[in-house]
């Protein structure tokens, strides 16, 4: 999505650009995304029903994290718990990440 000419602040345009970017990233890394979703479901099912991106990436060390990671929990089976934790990945500088509940 080309952002030139768009206003600096526009909530609808912001969400549209986010969704377009996530879809593009997911399309470009479909194999990684499919495997990451399998791992996330497995983590949730063998634990307390929740999962976060750090947990997935710990069990999927053969890939480099990228924009596609933002699409791991997109789908009706994942519900945001309202909880956020600090990422333990050094490259994330302890930024907050969401905790998701798996409801197949």
Task: Map out the domains of the chain as residue ranges.
Answer: 11-102
Residue pair 13/7 in contact by the 8 Å Cβ criterion = yes
- pLDDT tops 70 at residue 22: no
The alpha carbon of 19 is separated from its chain's Cα centroid by a whole number of angstroms, namely: 12
Q: Give exposure, 56-84, as e/b (b: 16+ Cβ within 10 Å).
A: bbeebeebebeebbbbbbeeeebeeeeee
pLDDT at 26: 59
- pLDDT tops 70 at residue 3: no
Residue 100 DSSP code: E
Q: Check residues 18 and 58 and name the one with the higher pLDDT.
A: 58
pLDDT in tens, 61-85: 888 888 889 999 999 999 999 999 9
For the question of whether the overall pTM of this predicted structure is more than 0.75, the answer is yes
pLDDT at 23: 67
Q: What Rg value do the Cα atoms of the chain yield, rounded? A: 15
pLDDT at 73: 97
- pLDDT tops 80 at residue 27: no
CATH 2.60.120 holds for 11-102? no
Q: Please state, in angstroms and rounded to a whole number, the distance separating the CA atoms of residues 73 and 78.
A: 6
């Amino acid at each position: 999505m080309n952002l030139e000419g768009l206003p600096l602040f526009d909530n609808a345009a912001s969400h549209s650009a986010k969704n377009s970017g996530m879809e593009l990233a997911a399309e470009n890394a479909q194999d990684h995304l499919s495997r990451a979703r399998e791992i996330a479901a497995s983590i949730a099912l063998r634990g307390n029903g929740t999962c976060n991106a750090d947990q997935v990436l710990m069990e999927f060390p053969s890939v480099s994290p990228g924009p596609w990671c933002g699409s791991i929990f997109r789908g009706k089976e994942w519900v945001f718990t309202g909880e956020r934790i600090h990422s333990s990945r050094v490259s994330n500088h302890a930024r907050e990440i969401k905790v998701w509940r798996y409801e197949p």
